[in-house]
Amino acid sequence: MFSWRTFSRFIGCPAAGLAWAIDSQTGGGEAGSRQSGEGERRREIALFAGGCFWCMEAPFAKLGGGVLAVESGYGGGNTANPSYENYAAGGHVEVVRVVYDPDLVSYRQLLDTFWRQIDPTDAGGQFVDRGHAYTSAIFYCSEEQRLQAEASKQELAARGVFDKPLVTPILPAPAFYPAEAYHQGFSEKNPLRYMYYRQGSGRDDFLRRTWQEAGTGREHPTASLHRRLTPLQYEVTRNNGTEPPFANAYWDNKQEGIYVDVVSGEPLFSSTDKYDSGTGWPSFTKALVAENIVEKSDWSLLTRRTEVRSKGGDSHLGHLFPDGPDPTGLRYCINSAALRFVPRDQLETEGLGRFSRLFE
């Protein structure tokens, strides 16, 4: 494991202002480009919040040689150089920073490991630890990481592992402040104390129960979706059904906010593009995130129509028609049962804060 005690040279993640130290004896040249004695090594940074950082360090460290270092720390607040005594008061959360070689371990592997350590439906903390300081988050250092994180979140939601919406936000990486030395490698230095704390926190019981029930497959567990969705939601999204016009949740909704897939949670449409088409179904002139919409030919009524489905959840949403108003001339005619509405004032809480600018 790469030693963090003798570092004296600082380099950073440009997109996030992250700073970490590289041992001045490695002779690494450009930031993070070389590890002493091992030739050229690629180094990238990943930053995760999952409640108690003691419990988040060990799972990443066990991934093997592709993980070069794991460090506990604080981030996301409004104070500089926080300590264990004051980080929570400064608005920070406990985080772990993973330095990894993407040639040996992928960011997707890190994401899969992260999801299997937390309860992503809990917005108030993690397990026995409550409060903002222990909330979960994925902090991305690049646009590529953001896209991978969002895709993995959508896929997890679509699998139906959890009965409630995933609220873990995906946010730009903040400045990272290393925690005190006694917190680093805690599970190795204090194995008994760590074991008792982890078992007593309820984390392992929750993870064991959740993932044993979910299994290891990547298909949508039908039984779980039946539990999560109403009969109408299931009929529309899984069986390509159509809800009644004028008798659905959102046809006349005038609140500001965005509409996400009821199965996967991926963002689909915005109230800023919604209009009254007179059809009795929610209608939009364009998609909020075009990459999340899949168009397919539909001949079910013996004439060609364009079906629209969600990419991550593979949910039937509705149909696309070329009779909408300016500026697009399009009408996305969508079933309310395929959507979940997230009001403007809840976007940050649900990790969709990047869309708040639409309503400024």
Q: Report, in angstroms and rounded to the nearest whole number, the Rg of the chain calculated over CA atoms.
A: 23
Phi then psi for residue 65, to 5 deg, are -65, -20
Helix (H) or strand (E) holding 233: helix 231-239
**Nearest to 221, CA basis, from 211, 231, 230:** 211
Residues 237, 220: Cα–Cα separation, whole Å: 12
Structure tokens at 259: 């509409």
Confirm if 313 and 242 have CB atoms less than 8 A apart: no
Indicate the DSSP class of residue 276.
-
Whether residue 52 lies in the annotated active site: yes
Helix (H) or strand (E) holding 70: strand 67-75
Pairs from 329-333 (Cβ < 8 Å, separation ≥ 24): 330/285, 330/286, 331/277, 331/283, 331/284, 331/285, 332/269, 332/283, 332/284, 332/285, 332/286, 332/287, 332/308, 333/277, 333/279, 333/281, 333/282, 333/283
Whether residue 55 lies in the annotated active site: no
Residues 238, 227: Cα–Cα separation, whole Å: 14
| Residue in 13, 52, 55, 141 annotated catalytic | 52
Active site (catalytic) residues: 52, 333
